[in-house]
């Protein structure tokens, strides 16, 4: 039996994105960060509308009272699911403003407010990192410009996406049960 020699095996390595250097205190004093907030609620329920208004007021005050920040704007999507970014007009406007260089940092309440589709959220975050825009998730205390941020975001985004799928399944189940109670023989 003759042994054939093969070329070296090809191994592909996917490295994490590198961190960017943190701003120094001297940089903060000379240049204010242009900061935008992103707020979203997925329904128009009274409870969520109250949360929505509280988020807007909080971020406006928070950014305006921080001496190192200049408020660019509060971008809001109301009554829109976080699973499809294309349907969120304010989010798309925010991304465009970032591409145009108007924003240095985005602050949002949590990963689930930013998006519930893991792939879309991570692609957006990577696009923002590539142009030097940091996203800060307050609840999770994650800055996307730090190297550990992407790993944590991947895990948290996957959980948020799964929660959204479970919630959707629960809502559909409830609708089916309600339909069965109204029309036990099958309505036409």
Confidence of residue 165 (pLDDT cuts 50, 70, 90): low
Res 184 pLDDT > 50: yes
- CA–CA gap between residue 36 and residue 60 (Å, rounded): 9
pTM score > 0.75 for this model? no
For residue 77, give Cα distances in angstroms to 2, 38, 52, 92.
67, 8, 9, 10
User: Residue 76 and residue 136: Cα distance in Å, rounded?
Assistant: 16
pLDDT at 46 over 60: yes
Residue 19 has pLDDT above 60, yes or no: no
Task: Report the alpha-carbon distance of residue 130 to residue 128 in Å, rounded.
Answer: 5
30-182: CATH superfamily: Resolvase, N-terminal catalytic domain (3.40.50.1390)
Q: What is the DSSP string of 56-114?
A: HHHHHHHHHH-TTEEEEEEEEEES--SS-GGG-HHHHHHHHHHHTT--SEEEES-HHHH
Q: Which of 150, 75, 139 is nearest to 105 (CA)?
A: 75
Give residue limits of the domains in the chain: 30-182
């Amino acid at each position: 039996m003759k042994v054939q020699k093969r070329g070296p095996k090809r191994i592909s390595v996917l490295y994490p994105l590198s961190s960017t250097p943190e701003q120094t205190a001297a940089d903060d004093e000379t240049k204010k960060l242009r900061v935008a907030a992103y707020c979203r609620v997925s329904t128009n329920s009274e409870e969520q509308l109250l949360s929505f208004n509280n988020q807007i007021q909080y971020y406006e005050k928070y950014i305006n009272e921080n001496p190192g920040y200049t408020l660019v704007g509060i971008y809001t999507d109301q009554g829109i699911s976080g699973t499809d970014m294309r349907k969120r007009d304010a989010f798309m406007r925010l991304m465009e403003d970032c591409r145009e260089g108007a924003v240095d940092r985005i602050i949002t309440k949590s990963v689930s407010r930013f998006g519930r589709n893991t792939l879309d959220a991570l692609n957006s975050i990577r696009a923002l990192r590539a142009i030097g825009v940091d996203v800060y998730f307050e609840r999770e205390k994650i800055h996307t410009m730090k190297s550990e941020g992407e790993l944590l975001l991947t895990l948290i985004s996957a959980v948020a996406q799964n929660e959204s799928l479970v919630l959707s399944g629960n809502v559909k189940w409830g609708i089916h049960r309600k339909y069965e109670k109204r029309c036990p023989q099958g309505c036409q």
